[in-house]
Structure 1
Amino acid sequence: MTANSGYRRDIDGLRALAVLPVVFAHAGLPGFSGGYVGVDVFFIISGYLITGILLREIRQGRFSLADFYERRARRILPALFAVLAACTALSWFILPPDLLEGYARSVLATVLFVSNFWFWRSSGDYFGQAAEWEPLLHTWSLAVEEQFYVFFPLLLCLLAGKRMGTVIAAVAVLSLCSLAASAWFTSAQPQAAYFLTFTRIWELGLGALLAAGALPGSRQRALVELVAAAGLVAILYSVVAYDAATPFPGVAALLPCGGAVALIWAGAQGRPAATRLLSSPVFVGIGLVSYSLYLWHWPVLVYTRLLQGSAELALVPALAAIGIALLLAWFSWRWVEQPFRHRGGFWDSRTALVRGGSAFALLLVVVAVVINAGKGFPERLPADVLKVYTEAVERTPVQERCMGRLPEQGLCRFGDGPAAGPADVLIWGDSHAGAFLPGFELWTSARGLTGLSAVKSACPPLLGVVRADKGESHRCDEFNRRVMEFLERRQDLGTVILVARWAQAVEGTPAPGEGGADAVLVPAGSSRPLPAGYGNAELVEQALADTVARVRATGREVLIVKGVPEVGFSVPVAVVNAQFVGTRLEAAPTRTEVEKRNRRADLIIETVATELDARHASLVPELCDPDCKVQEDGVPLYRDDDHLSTYGARRLVPELLNLALGEGPGRG
């Protein structure tokens, strides 16, 4: 079966089946946790349709790279440029300086179709919290497609004189290599696997193989009905069953991609029930505007979050944002996409298209460069607001320097004492421990102590545990092992302070309102699934007990600091928007809500501390009485939604440690 040139309503309907789960998942609607697989369905559709056109033109001897890229430009650029222009204007009035500067860089990456690389390096995790504030994050998929279509037409041209079997074999080998890379990277480098083109080529390749006739046709009605139904179920199951914790793309992407292939194949054999459903006016209508809807939905959601100060939208704002995106999508399709896709008028000639497109792209680049050079134009904010915001979100040089340092690299030192002499206390933990450092530095200096820090992002101080969601390269277990061996080799450091985001480690889920991916903990080196009923909480309890026991066995004191209250929204952004944009400051959680979130984590800490004669302390009584404080006199206590700001650390940490450690630690 090869792709034919006739219009297929069912493929437009399949576009609707692809875009709606993406929109609903990004809006946080329940039941669509795996909606991101819609992008993979789009890749299948693109590979199928574009390859069908290419093969037909090559076979007829009328293929032209210039014609091909002109069609791509008419299809992709007008709506994209409209979205970029609107987002840039809106960002000027909404985004604080650092976010606007980052946005400008993402505009450059988007115009050059390398935004997948940019977001891989800048945001890291597609499902992470930082990604929630990136208006152009979704353009990574456009970059993947355009990078694919730089070389793929050339490959088909090189194979033009060969038999179709040779073409199919070449595309199949390329796709298999890509799938193998995707499976490996998804395990070892999950963030790279999600964004990089080579780990996605196989998805476009599956569509290309289908267009090239790699699958034979069938006239058996029952078989066609079964394949179509199975394809629809495969996509829907992926949408419902997958979530941010699913290793993806890798092997898991075979299910939605296979479902899309099955539906396209079945639709070419006749009109099975699933195809008739996708050919209905509602699905076709949404499918027609699917590209514009994809472009508009994410910025609308991001700006709604920014104005509300929360990464998680309530149902009514989420539905309102979807409605606005649909309206913008229709206008964009009708008044931007259609005039440019169909020749006629001023844009009829290729010369006019190239000149107009180049001029607009250059304008976007110039604006982005100016914003970047101006570092987001901080003067847009009142001086007092800017000062508060900058001090809240910026990490100190100490924090930047100390995160992730191994003992053999020289742990950061704080307080009094010579650079290589003995030390009194070690603070050990994840990024929450890193956020404590400005206060830890103040405390050690005030008490005449010398402190060391061993801090690594997303790495709670738990021996023998890894964050599976961070991939094999994260090596949290290796970091903690080396810290423990460092302690066992030394005679000083009489007190060890353990700090982490314990609630996230125990529950595995982000805080209410936060968004982002789950934290998946597994035993280091484990290739077997955990026993039934044995999850994050049980693993944390065992690993914390093991860690404290080994530290106590060296004769040292241990202080476990319970989790800092998680706010659920970016405090600096909310504070600035309340003063700069005039939005309402989000209500902070109550002590009851914080204690509910931390109930299991606190119980584990208290149990381990009691059994192993360790101490524990908490900032909750100081911060939450009964509502939690997120600022003092307009100064944020947090740098985001859960990490203490520099001001917050200096304000809260010394008093906490004084109360918890009394006269202070000794050197052992």
Structure 2
Amino acid sequence: MGASGGELLKQGAWAPATSSELLLHLWITGVAAQLVVGWTVVVVGLRALKAGRWIGRVALAGVVAAVALQVVMHARGAAPQAFYLAPPHADLFLIGALIALRRWRLAGQAMERPIGLLAAAGRLALPFWFWLWPLLAFPRLVLARSLEPREVGAALLAAAVLALATERGVQRPLQRRLEARPMLSLLTCGALVGSLAIGAAALFALDGLPERASAAVRAEEAAVMVRAPLQRRCHMEEAVIPSAAACTVPVGARADVVLWGNSHASHISPALLAWAGSRGHAVRQATMSGCLTLAGRDNGIVSDACARFNRQAIEEWGRVRPAMILVGA
């Protein structure tokens, strides 16, 4: 569960540069689809096992598990994964499933109105989100600045109005038509999902649509992907500090300048090598993706792997005592 979110993370969707993408918010449809499919399998399985009475209990357990997963992931510095992947978002989905069951033994009719209000809010939630993100992102792109509170308020109001119009003019009529024809509903959903899957597979196989860019732009992108020697050998994805012998320039020298940090630090290694080489300094690089230079994990910012990497680095710096340590994060 969460393959679409994982792919977004690989593409750098957590980076600030992508925070104004007009269609980035559509990742939630992938999360919703995964949760729907997963919960459908659970419900069908329980009914097949004659254990339908356990559906509510399983949903409640899922809510608790999803909340616990969010807490653990944030504590271990996995906030991007907690945001984009499907399992951490199962709590709200399963709360909706519990409401849909409407099995409130003590409440009786007293809960009908609150549940009805929650159901109405649920019907508006998705169209509201679909409208809100572009209404917030597009003005930021045009104005090249953050929105003021009154502008955010106007976007919220516009999104609410558009969501209501979408729910009444599109979502509700379509739902009524499909509810009356369950087979047509299944075929329609299958066709839509199949079309999306084929389109996504084609885009993935083609590595996007590179032909949209000019030859000069494609050549520049290819050049960006060429990594300098130290970046290629000494920028790590795992919690193993690269050896000093392989990651010191000139080879065999005792490094008096150390480059330590995450990928931001790694990107400056070519400039650092040029600067140090002109002054007769030896450079040692030890960098790890997404790893801030913090040794303790109790701050909730770095992962266990990152903390291990940094402890290894600190031990080495203590032994060799370089004249200069450049920290990049």
TM-score normalised by length of structure 2: 0.70
Give the match for residue 151 of structure 1.
41
Which runs of structure 2 are paired with 1:468-617 in the superposition (5 Å)?
A: 468-470=299-301, 472-476=303-307, 478-490=308-320, 494-501=322-329
Change (3 A) 1:485 1:291: closer
Give the match for residue 106 of structure 2.
217
Q: SS of the counterpart of 2:268?
A: helix
- The counterpart of 2:170, out of the listed 330, 336, 347, is 336
Are 2:247 and 1:413 aligned?
yes
Q: SS of the counterpart of 1:422?
A: coil
Which runs of structure 2 are paired with 1:439-450 in the superposition (5 Å)?
A: 439-450=271-282
Q: SS of the counterpart of 1:497?
A: strand
CA distance in structure 2 between the aligned counterparts of 1:409 and 1:374, rounded to whole angstroms: 34
Change (3 A) 1:186 1:267: farther
Which runs of structure 2 are paired with 1:617-628 in the superposition (5 Å)?
A: none
Aligned partner letter, 2:325: I
Give RMSD over aligned pairs: 4.5
Are 2:126 and 1:291 aligned?
yes
Question: Could you tell me whether the CA contact under 8 Å between 2:259 and 2:328 is conserved in 1?
Answer: no
Aligned partner letter, 2:234: C
The CA deviation string for residues 162-211 of structure 1, in whole angstroms up to 9 with x for no partner, is: 7x5x6655555555555554544443364444455444545544555566
Q: SS of the counterpart of 1:342?
A: helix
CA distance in structure 1 between the aligned counterparts of 2:180 and 2:97, rounded to whole angstroms: 30
Q: SS of the counterpart of 1:475?
A: helix
- The counterpart of 1:268, out of the listed 90, 93, 111, is 111
- Alignment length (residue pairs): 322
Q: SS of the counterpart of 1:409?
A: coil
Change (3 A) 1:160 1:358: closer
Question: Could you tell me whether the CA contact under 8 Å between 2:25 and 2:133 is conserved in 1?
Answer: yes
The unaligned stretches of length 5 or more in structure 1 are 1-108, 219-264, 502-668
Question: Could you tell me whether the CA contact under 8 Å between 2:62 and 2:91 is conserved in 1?
Answer: yes
Deviation at 1:142, TM superposition (A): 1.0
Change (3 A) 1:176 1:338: closer
CA distance in structure 2 between the aligned counterparts of 1:438 and 1:190, rounded to whole angstroms: 30
Deviation at 1:340, TM superposition (A): 1.8
Aligned partner letter, 1:497: I
Deviation at 1:439, TM superposition (A): 0.5
Give the match for residue 56 of structure 1.
none
- The counterpart of 2:288, out of the listed 433, 456, 462, is 456
Give the match for residue 399 of structure 1.
231
Give the match for residue 137 of structure 1.
27
Question: Could you tell me whether the CA contact under 8 Å between 2:5 and 2:84 is conserved in 1?
Answer: yes
Q: Which is bigger in relative contact order (C-alpha 8 A, separation at least 6)?
A: 1
Deviation at 1:485, TM superposition (A): 1.6
- The counterpart of 2:267, out of the listed 427, 435, 441, is 435
Deviation at 1:342, TM superposition (A): 1.3
CA distance in structure 2 between the aligned counterparts of 1:460 and 1:298, rounded to whole angstroms: 30
Change (3 A) 1:211 1:383: closer
Which runs of structure 2 are paired with 1:203-282 in the superposition (5 Å)?
A: 203-206=92-95, 208=97, 216-217=105-106, 268=111
TM-score normalised by length of structure 1: 0.39
Question: Could you tell me whether the CA contact under 8 Å between 1:138 and 1:295 is conserved in 2?
Answer: no
Aligned partner letter, 1:470: I
Deviation at 1:427, TM superposition (A): 1.9
Question: Could you tell me whether the CA contact under 8 Å between 2:262 and 2:287 is conserved in 1?
Answer: yes
Deviation at 1:484, TM superposition (A): 2.2
Give the match for residue 229 of structure 1.
none
Question: Could you tell me whether the CA contact under 8 Å between 2:234 and 2:242 is conserved in 1?
Answer: no
CA distance in structure 1 between the aligned counterparts of 2:223 and 2:206, rounded to whole angstroms: 20
Question: Could you tell me whether the CA contact under 8 Å between 2:235 and 2:288 is conserved in 1?
Answer: yes
CA distance in structure 2 between the aligned counterparts of 1:124 and 1:469, rounded to whole angstroms: 21
Change (3 A) 1:426 1:141: same
Deviation at 1:461, TM superposition (A): 4.0
Aligned partner letter, 1:146: V
Deviation at 1:483, TM superposition (A): 1.4
CA distance in structure 2 between the aligned counterparts of 1:297 and 1:317, rounded to whole angstroms: 12
Deviates more, 1:379-388 or 1:446-455: 379-388
CA distance in structure 2 between the aligned counterparts of 1:374 and 1:268, rounded to whole angstroms: 52
Q: SS of the counterpart of 1:468?
A: coil
CA distance in structure 2 between the aligned counterparts of 1:297 and 1:377, rounded to whole angstroms: 27
Change (3 A) 1:439 1:368: same
Q: SS of the counterpart of 2:177?
A: coil
Change (3 A) 1:169 1:460: closer
Structure with larger Rg: 1
Identity among equivalent pairs (%): 22
CA distance in structure 2 between the aligned counterparts of 1:340 and 1:437, rounded to whole angstroms: 57
Question: Could you tell me whether the CA contact under 8 Å between 1:147 and 1:197 is conserved in 2?
Answer: no
Aligned partner letter, 1:480: N
Aligned partner letter, 1:289: L
Q: SS of the counterpart of 1:295?
A: helix
Q: SS of the counterpart of 2:326?
A: strand
